[in-house]
């Protein structure tokens, strides 16, 4: 079970190379992604701003958005990769990948997944609002929020490099 996380400008090449069955696009309201020549058969488009707390004039992620993300990922059987992207591949997509990893793991693995995320993606700065919403929906009692806070902000970058998360049972222990 492989998650691929990337910035928008890498998506077409990653779709061609890895042929994911599922694609999650996280973008700002009004943004329209370029059509993909070989789009994955299952796609979820969520539109909200990359903000850490609600702000006037911007659209925050909602419980409904994150519930949709988790439900979509639950329908993924893992036979082919699931590709998650946002504009830069740093905040929204890394938070979504972390939420999917936690959802597919038993409680108590939140810190291991956060540390693994940092190890494979030094620039990852998971959006704290997405993490908090997922933590609430998954009944993790703040464990996801604390784990992401513990790894801190990722290295500064304009664009995150594509990376993979292995969701097999030993994935977060590598």
Q: Read off the tokens for 135.
A: 């933590």
Beginning with the edge strand found earlier in the chain, give each strand of the sheet holding 42-47 in spatial order. Answer: 42-47, 22-27, 82-86, 2-7, 163-166
Evaluate if pTM is beyond 0.75.
yes
Q: What is the CATH number of the domain that holds 54?
A: 3.90.190.10
Provide the number of structural domains found in the chain.
1
| Domain containing residue 102 | 2-173
Q: Can you tell me the distance from the alpha carbon of 164 to that of 138, in angstroms, rounded to the nearest whole number?
A: 23
Give the pLDDT score at 132: 98
The pLDDT of residue 48 is above 80? yes
Mean pLDDT of 33-55: 87
Q: Which helix (H) or strand (E) is 103 found in, with range?
A: helix 92-103
Interval 55-95: pLDDT, tens: 999 999 999 999 999 999 999 999 999 999 999 999 999 99
């Amino acid at each position: 079970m492989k998650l691929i996380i990337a910035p928008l400008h890498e998506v077409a090449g990653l779709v061609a190379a890895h042929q994911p069955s599922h694609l999650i696009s996280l973008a700002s309201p009004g943004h329209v992604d370029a059509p993909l020549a070989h789009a994955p058969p299952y796609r979820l488009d969520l539109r909200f701003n990359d903000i850490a707390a609600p702000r006037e004039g911007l659209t925050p992620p909602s419980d409904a958005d994150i519930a949709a993300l988790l439900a979509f990922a639950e329908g993924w059987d893992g036979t082919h990769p699931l590709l998650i992207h946002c504009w830069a591949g740093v905040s929204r997509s890394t938070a979504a990948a972390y939420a999917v990893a936690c959802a597919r793991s038993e409680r108590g693995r939140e810190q291991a997944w956060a540390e693994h995320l940092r190890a494979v993606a030094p620039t990852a700065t998971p959006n704290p609002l997405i993490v908090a919403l997922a933590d609430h929906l998954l009944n993790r009692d703040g464990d996801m929020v604390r784990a992401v806070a513990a790894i801190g902000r990722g290295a500064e970058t304009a664009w995150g490099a594509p990376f993979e998360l292995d969701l097999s049972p030993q994935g977060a222990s590598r």
